[in-house]
Amino acid sequence: MSTLFGSLSVGRQSLAAQQMGLAITQNNIANVNTPGYARQRANFAPGDGSGDTAVGAGVRLVSIESYRSRLLDIRVNGEIQRQGEYAASAEVLQQVEAFFDETTGTGLQSDISTFFNNFSSLANMPQDAALRQQVLAGGEKLGMSFRDTYEKLQVLRTHLDRGITEAVAEINSITAAIAKLNYEVVDMRGTMGNANSSIDERQKLVDRLASLVDINYFESESGSIHISTRQGALLVTGTEAHPWQVANGADGALRILAAGRDITDDLQSGRLGGLIHVRDTQITSYLAVLDDMAAAIISRVNAQHALGADAQGVAGGNFFVPFIGAIPGSNQGAARALEVAITDINKIAAADPAAGSGSNQNAKAIAGIQNELLLSGNNATLSEFYTHLVFRIGLDTKTGVDGMETQSHLLSRLQEQRDSQCGVSLDEEAINLMYYQKAFEASARFIALVDSLMDDMLSILGG
Amino acid sequence: MRISDAASYQRLLDNLNMLNSRLETATEQVSSGRRLNHLHDGPSAAAEMVQLNGQLAQIDQFQTNADQSNYLLQFSDSVLTSVYDLVTAIFTRGSEAASSLADEQSRAILAVEIRSQRDQILSLANTDVQGRFLFAGSQSASPAFSLSGDTAQYHGDNVINTVDINNGLSVNGNIPGSTAFQRVFETVEQLLAAIDAGDETAIRSSLSGFAGALSDVNKVRAALGVDLAKIENSSLARQMQQTSITARQANLSNADMAQAVTDLTQAQTALQASLTAGSMIHRYNLFDFLV
């Protein structure tokens, strides 16, 4: 059985509830532009009355709920990882392809052609000093182009190491922040507080972490999240962050250590995975192609040059400085070592040693090297081998650039989907505002009515 | 579908970004006239460009070789023409000396004339181009022939430098003096000895050697003619190769202007429309109508 005082109490609860609704609406509006914010709503429940004829005891606020979709969060997170990977490889490879400017015919191919064709020119006039000079100049230019391209790729690798260091530092600062937020979420839940804003902030950081490295994460019952890489290297367990280290590897390239274990080769995605893939797989293979080409040029040209006789009829010496690799049987470093060994134009061995210095036989033979199947197990000419490199660089870059574009479309759609569930709509909030305002007004009027009823009662009593 | 405010702004931004990037690609193509500005614009086209550039450079080189050989062979041919004329002139003088009407004095005058013409042949046999003696084989740094008395001595060798003028096609770049001049000098030497001795029979028999000497010169000229024809005939092939490679390159790298301009206009229109729509859509929301 309800009493007037009881009605007042119901009115008070109602006022408080509508006010809370207004406050939540206000908070949603305030965060309309906050990245990662998920809109919140008040969950009300009717207060229970007692006895069979009870009319209920007003309204009570049960919880403030945040519209998070765990499923979409995880999908978005996964796509962010690949987006980071493609973006890193596109960014680096676009610099690499600029070193191989073959679309305008000014790249390495033109130096290779010029080098061999200069020998063909010399074959027209084997004793001509100007043509001999041209042969030397062509050799020097060829060496310079190889060394220069090799150097540029090496410098780029050093820059990549810097990028890797920065990414690891950022990962460490993010995991530390997530560990702290884990503590706050668990703590607030323990004291029945509202952890929604910490969860939003934490999800934003998890997304940022995903753009850097491939991660798996799950939420424990206590509300904290555990993060590790897909290959199992720990990042965050509960309230504890596991910072990573970088250290110089055997070849001077940076390695990434988690708890002292080298995990560099395990990282597959995210910006860090992308940078490591470009550095250790792609650029390394491009350098190897240049090395193989340079080694083939050095050894084959030197061998043919030695078969000829120079302007004085002396047997030809080395045209290029012979390459002696640091690692036996490996061509590593040959492109950096491609350099003409002779300075005297008369030392160019253009002639057949059995004939006079006017013979052009050896110059012609050296010019013919450009058509010999020197590479890929005697299956490809220098030019064909190089063509394959150009194709690979173009394709790798295209994969990165296209991947980045596709990924960003995909991510946009997913984020839109997530936003349509979690994001704030001002129209909707305006309606909520009216909704709570009207309810508040009605409750206030109800309290005024109860007040007037009480006045009536008191006037009867006071007579 | 529920649309959040942030999402609608984000979508507008995404669309503008996409249109701007399309506009940039179209602008780059129109302004450079090229479709292949980066390797990633067409990896296989870029790779083919590399191969074509290499081939084109080699054909250009064959063309240079052909031009150079053409020049040297024409030059040699004109030298040999003069030699032929001189040998014929010497034969005429020799025939005069063989006549029973010729006396010792007139034979002496003829001998002087013949020696002078022989010296001219020697000078032609020692023709050099930029210090390179054309008829000395591979010993081209020094003169091909020298005279001691009336005896000519060959200092060169029989080496013939071949020059590539296309894939698998080459011409002889020089004529060793031994094949062109040796018999000429020997025949003239015999003639002079006979005239000096006033031996009519010997003069007659030495004159019979001239047919062989002239035939040597002609054979060499015929071989030269064959090589010159080879150069001439292969020139069309080289030109066609050059044309087809250049056309293929243009095909690979040049932008289709009509298409590029259409793309540019489309991207511009779309961007403009998107901007206008964006500015209109975001002007109002429900709050504008609440008092």
Mean pLDDT by 10 residues, chain A (463 residues): 79 90 92 87 81 71 87 92 95 94 85 96 93 97 96 93 96 97 89 82 94 94 93 94 94 91 93 95 95 96 96 94 90 94 96 93 96 93 95 96 92 88 89 92 92 90 71
pLDDT of B256 above 90: no
Q: Is B237 exposed, middle or buried (0-12, 13-18, 19+ CB in 10 A)?
A: middle
Contact B200, B191 (CB under 8 A): no
Predicted pLDDT at A49: 64
Contact B128, B174 (CB under 8 A): no
CB-CB under 8 Å, A430 with B2: no
Residue B222 in domain: yes
A308 CB neighbour count, 10 Å cutoff: 24
Predicted pLDDT at B154: 96
Decide: helix, strand or coil at residue A62.
Answer: strand
Sheet containing strand A240-241, strands side by side: A215-219, A225-229, A234-237, A240-241
Between B277 and A228, residue with greater pLDDT: A228
In this prediction, residues B177-191 reach a mean pLDDT of: 94
Contact A408, A15 (CB under 8 A): no
Tell me the pLDDT band of B82, cut-offs 50, 70 and 90: very high
Task: Report the Cα B289 to chain-centroid distance in Å.
Answer: 83
Q: What is the mean pLDDT of chain B?
A: 91
Terminus-to-terminus CA distance in chain A, angstroms? 27
Residue B186 in domain: yes
Predicted pLDDT at B35: 87
Shortest distance between the Cα of A133 and any Cα of chain B, in A, equals 16
Predicted pLDDT at B18: 86
In this prediction, residues B21-29 reach a mean pLDDT of: 88
Decide: helix, strand or coil at residue A67.
Answer: coil
CB-CB under 8 Å, B3 with A383: no
Instruction: Report the half-sphere exposure of A407 (CA within 13 A, side-chain side).
Output: 23
Residue B141 in domain: yes
DSSP codes, B72-140: HHHHHHHHHHHHHHHHHHHHHHHHHHHSTT--HHHHHHHHHHHHHHHHHHHHHHT-EETTEETTSTT-T
- Reference A87, options A167, A154, A153; nearest CA is A167
- Reference A324, options A314, A310, A312, A334; nearest CA is A334
Give residue B86's identity as a one-letter amino acid code. Answer: L
Q: Which residue of B has its CA nearest to A29?
A: B5
- The H helix count followed by the E strand count for chain B is 7, 6
| Single pTM value for the model | 0.85
Task: State how far the Cα of A203 lies from the Cα of A37, in Å rounded to an integer.
Answer: 9
DSSP type of residue A42: E
The domain that holds B56 is classified in CATH as 1.20.1330.10
Instruction: Report the half-sphere exposure of B76 (CA within 13 A, side-chain side).
Output: 29
Predicted pLDDT at B9: 81
Show the tokens assigned to B158.
């029989």
Task: State how far the Cα of A315 lies from the Cα of B47, in Å rounded to an integer.
Answer: 39
Backbone torsions φ then ψ of B259, nearest 5 degrees: -65, -45
Q: Is B222 exposed, middle or buried (0-12, 13-18, 19+ CB in 10 A)?
A: exposed
Residue B16 in domain: no
List Cα–Cα distances, A234 to A186, A238, A240, A424, B138, in angstroms. Answer: 20, 11, 10, 34, 76
- Residue A14 is inside which H or E element, if any? helix A4-30
Task: State how far the Cα of A21 lies from the Cα of A44, in Å rounded to an integer.
Answer: 9
Residue B36 in domain: no
Decide: helix, strand or coil at residue B146.
Answer: strand
Residues counted in chain B: 291
Strand partners, A215: A229
Show the tokens assigned to A411.
């991510």
Show the tokens assigned to A123.
């074959």
Task: Report the Cα A345 to chain-centroid distance in Å.
Answer: 51
Predicted pLDDT at A50: 62
In this prediction, residues B206-212 reach a mean pLDDT of: 94
Residue B31 in domain: no
DSSP codes, B238-290: HHHHHHHHHHHHHHHHB--HHHHHHHHHHHHHHHHHHHHHHHHHTT--GGGG-
- Reference A164, options A203, A212, A112; nearest CA is A212
Query: Is A113 near chain B, with CB under 8 Å?
Result: yes
Contact A357, A351 (CB under 8 A): yes
Task: State how far the Cα of A374 lies from the Cα of A296, in Å rounded to an integer.
Answer: 7
Chain B residues whose CB is inside 8 A of the A124 CB are 64-65, 68-69, 163, 173
Compare CB distances from A103 to B36, B131, B162 and report the shortest one's residue. Answer: B36
Tell me the pLDDT band of B283, cut-offs 50, 70 and 90: low
Compare CB distances from A358 to B4, B49, B140 and report the shortest one's residue. Answer: B140
DSSP type of residue A314: P
A9 CB neighbour count, 10 Å cutoff: 16
Decide: helix, strand or coil at residue B164.
Answer: strand
Among A285-289, B125-129, B202-206, B282-286, which stretch is predicted with the lowest mean pLDDT?
Answer: B282-286
Between B276 and A212, residue with greater pLDDT: A212
Show the tokens assigned to B145.
């022939």
- Reference A348, options A164, A195, A131; nearest CA is A131
Decide: helix, strand or coil at residue A377.
Answer: coil
What's the ipTM? Answer: 0.86
Give residue A170's identity as a one-letter amino acid code. Answer: E
- Reference A212, options A262, A183, A169, A259; nearest CA is A169
**Signed CA dihedral, B8, B10, B16, B19: sign only:** negative
Residues counted in chain A: 463
| Strand A59-66, strand B169-172: pairing | unpaired
Residue B104 in domain: yes
Predicted pLDDT at A329: 85
Q: Which residue of A has its CA nearest to B170?
A: A364
Show the tokens assigned to A244.
């990573």
Enumerate residues 357 to 416 of chain A having a beta carbon within 8 A of any beta carbon in chain B. 357-361, 364, 367-368, 370-371, 383-384, 386-388, 390-395, 397-398, 401, 408-409, 412, 415-416
Query: Is A419 near chain B, with CB under 8 Å?
Result: yes
Range of the domain at B165: 49-248
Residues 6+ apart with CB under 8 A from B176: B135, B136, B137, B156, B157, B158, B159, B160
Chain B residues whose CB is inside 8 A of the A357 CB are 138-141
In this prediction, residues B261-281 reach a mean pLDDT of: 87
Specify the residue for token string 């206008």: B276
Q: Which residue of B has its CA nearest to A116?
A: B58
Residue B40 in domain: no
Show the tokens assigned to A31.
């965060």
Share of chain B above pLDDT 90, in %: 70
Decide: helix, strand or coil at residue A255.
Answer: strand
List Cα–Cα distances, A452 to A4, A58, A447, in angstroms. Answer: 11, 20, 9
